[in-house]
Structure 1
Amino acid sequence: MTSATMNSQNAPNDQHNVQLWLRGLLGWHGLLALAALAGIVWVWNSGDLARWLQILSSVLLAGTAVASLWALRLLGRHHKNGRILSLGINYLLFLFCLVASLHRLNAFVGIDSLADTFPRGLPFLGLIILAYFIGAAADRYEGQIARQQAHRQARKWLTIIGIVGFLLAVGILNALATTARSLTDGVLVGLLLGMVVTAVLLWAAWRQPMAHYFKSTNADTEMLNGYLFLSPNLLGFLIFFAGPLLLSLYVSFTNSDAFGTSDWVGFDNYARILNLDIAQLDTPDQLANEVLDTKIYSELNRFTLFGSSYVVGAEDALFWIALGNTLKFVLLAVPLSVIPALLLA
């Protein structure tokens, strides 16, 4: 039987499977959009969340709902951008479920505790390194097949013993027991289920039959590969730089103390930190509380201009001190580090 005949026989099966997976994707994105909208309602009916967290959660959920509905529309029209959008949504959801599951399992706390048990596993790591050198030594016995096989067998078993011993030494059994006990947590089970579903749908949408069905080109595949490799850096930028920056901007318009609830105060914080008062002194040594309202202002600096002495008061003196220190650092440290590097380049 020729390959062309086999391909022609497999084509109907592939077409049928693609149709099934497409129905699954359509149902999933419809369900996801409804769940996101329901999540927005829950967020604003919950009194336990801070206002900034309510806003952030609502924006993310609204974006998920809109993106899912748009993917649903494009997939229904068999447009290739629907597949691309579906891959992006499911990829981000998979990462979210993965990180949230690890957090729920206290895996990040467990990494800290690994520092206490890691030294017990060092001998087994040494065994793995020894296995590597034993396997590498097999190449010296060219033509001696029996001896080469003996070296490779020794490498295999020493590696297995080393890995198992290392995991047992660092407490893998305790970690597995803790994980098993955590499976009674409904939130964790939901996150794990979401991770499995998104992983399966990612696999289905990425496969070649699905790409052919949506008439995706090599350029589309290269674009997806590019975004896939770019995603760790891009997500890191959004989560650890852009996200905190936007959150700080929002918090600056509230009276948040980072613990309790916060209220919107508009530009009051900016008015307070920028509020300055300059008063003339009769003598350079005159007390600041004689010319400044010390209930509002703290003495920031004194200066003399055209023979007259002045005192500068600030409602938030720490802000101006920090700003001055930052300017000094920029003016001194940056040139001292950049100019020598340019001269040596």
Structure 2
Amino acid sequence: MEAWQKALLAWYREQARTLPWRGEKDPYRVLVAEVLLQQTRVEQAMPYYRRFLERFPTLAALRAASLEEVLKVWQGAGYYRRAVNLHRLAQGVEALPRSYAELLKLPGLGPYTAAAVASMAFGERVAAVDGNIRRVLSRLFALEDPAPKALQDLAQRLLPQGEDPGVWNQALMDLGAMVCLPKAPRCAACPLRAFCQGQEEPERYPKPRRRAVREEALAALVLLGRKGVHLERLSGRFQGLYGVPLFPLEELPERAQAFGVAPRPAGKVRHALTHRRLEVQVYLAPWDGEGEDPWGKPLPKLMEKVLRQAQALLAHEGVVPFPHAKP
């Protein structure tokens, strides 16, 4: 084992983060943690991890649940496609396969997640390369823009013999999360400082990945029926969730005509997605339909904002807008 590898493992033994899934060998629990961490910071993921496992403690429990139940428990964690894929996965297997190659075939498991489960739960010698590890290795070896395959191959070669590969992967992750930060890295506290080829200009490595952010103007139509709000099953990134009609702002006249309503504006909400920034004008209208309690359904965060905006205006006017208003 090289000196820098020994230094990293010694640092990890003393400084490893205390996380609810740390040291876990149950592959299902490792999977839930890693799926949550695909798009969610560790601090935000922890309460959702506990809540999800309290309701679905095993793969069998997840398999027996409806998608609506799963999405309701996932509500607030965002990126709901992850929950949809977890549910699909549970329908297709009795137990998680033990190899990286087989895990990679499951819905929603990319190279990183499959490698994390294989190494941490089953001890397979496979490198898991997430954003933290990409940054650590890029700086350590002064790689400005490493190709994903080249970086994966490098990480695989660096797996130390005789060490638990799951522990090694987590040591690199923790270094990236705690010390080798994207901005203002804590180089003085880094156990690999003496070995790092990029320490003179750490923020040069790796070259940041940038994608254009698209601005969108939308309208949300909150239709107030006799028993609540008109809700629709959503599609696309919000598949399986519920919400009020949402559409491009210019379509408001035809949508209002289709419902036979004359909506009035109720304010705006803004919502950021990965590569989109949404400005949503909320409209209200009484509606000749039943409707239902929206808070009993799994809602994306955007729809929670829309409904609260509608509630705020109606409450200001002294109107109780729909039942069981969420505080």
TM-score normalized by the length of structure 1: 0.20
Structure with the bigger percentage of helix? 1
Structure with the bigger percentage of strand? 2
Higher normalized contact order (CA 8 Å, seq sep 6+, divided by chain length): 2
TM-score normalized by the length of structure 2: 0.21
